[in-house]
Structure 1
Amino acid sequence: MSRYGGDGVARIIAVIADVAALILIGWIVLYILKANTGNEVVGWVHSTADWLSGWSHDIFTPNSKWLRVLLNYGIAAAVYLFIGNLLAGRIRRA
């Protein structure tokens, strides 16, 4: 069975979880590479990642700003991937 095979609802949940994680990972990469935050695309990725990870801000508070971004946005990405795909898998098996 393909990654997004099976029930339509499960497929939608898996895709949404993957896209959310991709946006969060995208912001981590853009931040670490010092992308121009004045750029509209970079600004959109940042604001969307902020919205998606609002619940995980300041879980970790290391002194290094890049490490703080990596940990706090990374944990949100991991949670979306884990919970979204776990839920999709359970729906597929039901």
Structure 2
Amino acid sequence: MAAHSERPEDVAQERRRTPAEVRASVVGVLAGLVRWVGLIFALVLVVHVVLTVGSANPDNSITVFFADAAEPLALAFRNLFTPENAELRVLVNYGLAALFWLIVSSVVSRLIRRLA
């Protein structure tokens, strides 16, 4: 029986990818990253809404962390609607901001894939 041996040049040749394959891989990673960032932003906003509507202790470090993190992510939605009830205000405005991030990250991810 002859042993099958590969030369290092053959192995290196097999592992080389075409520029199109590399580009497709980079585009896939970038599009995935955009989707994950949008999902994380939306998740932070939703946790803030849940903590607020659930009447979490406003002095608790977890509640403070999510409130501080959600503030810049809410963008112009922060004060879009101004109902009297503060919990309803957070639910509507920050909930819309979460939907915004999910939709925008999805659209941008698809655009990245199509343009590349």
Q: What TM-score does the superposition give when structure 2 sets the normalisation length?
A: 0.72
**RMSD across aligned positions (CA):** 1.3
> Is residue 92 of structure 2 the alignment partner of residue 65 of structure 1?
no
Corresponding residue of 2:30 = 9
Counterpart of 1:86 in structure 2 is 107
Identity %: 30
How far residue 54 of structure 1 moved from its aligned partner, in angstroms, is 3.5
What runs of 5+ residues in structure 2 fail to find an aligned partner? 1-26
SS at match of 2:82: coil
Q: TM-score, normalised by structure 1?
A: 0.87
> Hey, which bits of structure 1, 4+ residues long, moved more than 4 A?
none
Higher RCO (Cα < 8 Å, 6 or more apart): 1
Pick one of 28, 46, 51 that aligns with 1:25. 46
Kindly name which structure, 1 or 2, has the bigger radius of gyration based on alpha carbons: 2
Tell me the matched-pair count.
89
CA-CA distance at 1:8 after TM superposition: 0.6
Compute the displacement of 1:79 (Å).
0.6
Unaligned runs of 5+ in 1: 1-5
Partner residue of 2:5? none
Q: Which amino acid aligns with 1:13?
A: V
